[in-house]
Amino acid sequence: MLIVLALAGCLLSPAPTPRAVTERTAELAPIVDGNNAFALDLYGWSADHGEGNLFLSPFSVTAALGMTRAGAAGDTAAAMDQVLHITQDPAVYHQQLGALTRDLSGDLNRGYTLFIANGLFGQTGLPFDADFLSIQAEDYGAPLQALDFQGDPDGARGEINRWVEDQTDGGVSELLPAGSVNDQTRIALANAVRFEAEWVSRFRSSETYDGGFVTPTGEVTVPLMRAEEVPCLLGERAGVQVLSLPYRGDEVSLIALLPGGGYSDEEPAIPDLFALEAALDLPTLDGWLGSLSPTETTVVMPRFTISYTLPLTQALTDLGMGVAFSASADLTAMGPPDLFLQDAFHQATVQVDEAGTEATGSTAVLGGQKGDVEGFYATRPFLFLIRDNLTGTILFVGRVVDPS
């Protein structure tokens, strides 16, 4: 009887939805490369403006700004293209970014859960451009939702925050703080990402122990997860150990970059996380990833949770997009006159434990009108990515400086 029930359960389980994206095409490559370059730019800015733990969803920011780019023109569009590393015709860019989002997202019965949602909220009664709305609905899956920003700004803020909370399953609950939406606000472009995955080879809770993690200010005692003979990819270049630890289904992995390991005669050694961050760019990252090869080894890493709020407006301004937040902003392709970007917000959280990883990230852009030993032992600060293996798309990026 048990065997029959087990077989019936297997027969009733739906098969995973095949990926629509099956290779890194010439049209898709600039989307992935642009997102990844922007991811490292945003991470670099954040690392320079803080000393502690850090976690972002650059893909969430890319999606929200991609939606915004559809409404930009002139110098504003040029600045956004530079910051987002957009090299394609805008129509191709929106179509390909939308296709990648749809391929990654949904209840697809894969080995991981990844939901990506876009939302467009506009002032009721305002005449938005038809082409702009078409791009939002068709490429980004974000038909216009009318809100009365002018008459009830805090009510509109609450609606957007509830949308974000719903899309992230409570992971981000108050993206837009009190006072961020006012009676000058006319549009909000939002994105939410939720990711859950189990390791291919889970850590046993019974093997977790309290051990030392060396922070820049001294050693702290934290729960360290340990597993032996873990199937993974492992590599090393310039004293940086690289670990690719797969989630169930082998489509997405956690990439950890641990500096301060063995020394190489071929390249100058990178002694610590901050030197690694100074050296980090796409060619260097590709070189580190190129050192990976299959193995089974001992893995030790801390169990950790990080919640992070990024001052996104200041980051984007410093990276070169300040014109969009100024009186010179050209968002005429959105339709209503005299629009500029009022503010931009980003929050992200991650929890890594014995079972796997849960991560959420959300971004909102508001527009207003003018008026050592064999194995991988992460017991010192390290950088990590969550990355789609097929296309190489960086979904999340962060660092662990003090897991306590």
Q: What is the pLDDT of residue 187?
A: 97
Q: What is the pLDDT of residue 11?
A: 47
Q: Which fold has domain 29-197+305-369?
A: Antithrombin; Chain I, domain 2 (3.30.497)
- Look at 98-112, 204-218, 263-277, 285-299 and tell me which has the smallest mean pLDDT: 263-277
Q: What is the pLDDT of residue 265?
A: 53
The tens digit of pLDDT for each residue in 175-219 reads: 999 999 999 999 999 999 999 999 999 999 999 999 999 999 999
How confident is residue 18, by pLDDT bands cut at 50, 70 and 90?
confident
Average pLDDT over residues 58-66: 98
What gap in Å lies between CA 238 and CA 218, rounded to an integer?
25
How confident is residue 12, by pLDDT bands cut at 50, 70 and 90?
low
Average pLDDT over residues 370-396: 85
* Choices 2.30.39.10, 1.10.4190.10, 3.40.718.10, 3.30.499.10: CATH for 201-303+374-400: 2.30.39.10
Beta bridge partners of 198: 356
Average pLDDT over residues 101-111: 86
Within a 13 Å sphere around the CA of 198, how many CA atoms are in the beta-carbon half? Answer: 10
What gap in Å lies between CA 121 and CA 129, rounded to an integer?
14
The tens digit of pLDDT for each residue in 164-183 reads: 999 999 999 899 999 999 99
Q: What is the pLDDT of residue 20?
A: 81
Residue 220 above 50 pLDDT? yes
* Residue whose C-alpha is closest to residue 69's, from 334, 306, 307, 312: 334
Question: Which residues lie closer than 8 Å to 259 by C-beta, 6 or more apart?
Answer: 239, 240, 241, 270, 271, 272, 273, 275, 276, 382
Residue 10 above 50 pLDDT? no
Fold agreement (29-197+305-369, 201-303+374-400):
no
* Residue whose C-alpha is closest to residue 216's, from 376, 47, 8: 47
Q: Compute the mean pLDDT over every residue in the chain, rounded to the nearest whole number.
A: 92
How confident is residue 3, by pLDDT bands cut at 50, 70 and 90?
very low
Beta bridge partners of 211: 222
Q: What is the pLDDT of residue 111?
A: 85
Average pLDDT over residues 379-400: 92
How confident is residue 5, by pLDDT bands cut at 50, 70 and 90?
very low
How confident is residue 13, by pLDDT bands cut at 50, 70 and 90?
low
Average pLDDT over residues 90-116: 91
- 267 versus 381: the higher-pLDDT residue is 381
Kindly list the domain boundaries of the chain, sorted by start residue: 29-197+305-369, 201-303+374-400
Residue 299 above 90 pLDDT? yes
Q: What is the pLDDT of residue 264?
A: 54
The tens digit of pLDDT for each residue in 339-363 reads: 999 999 999 999 999 999 999 999 9
Q: What is the pLDDT of residue 363?
A: 97
Average pLDDT over residues 259-267: 67
How confident is residue 263, by pLDDT bands cut at 50, 70 and 90?
low
Average pLDDT over residues 306-331: 96
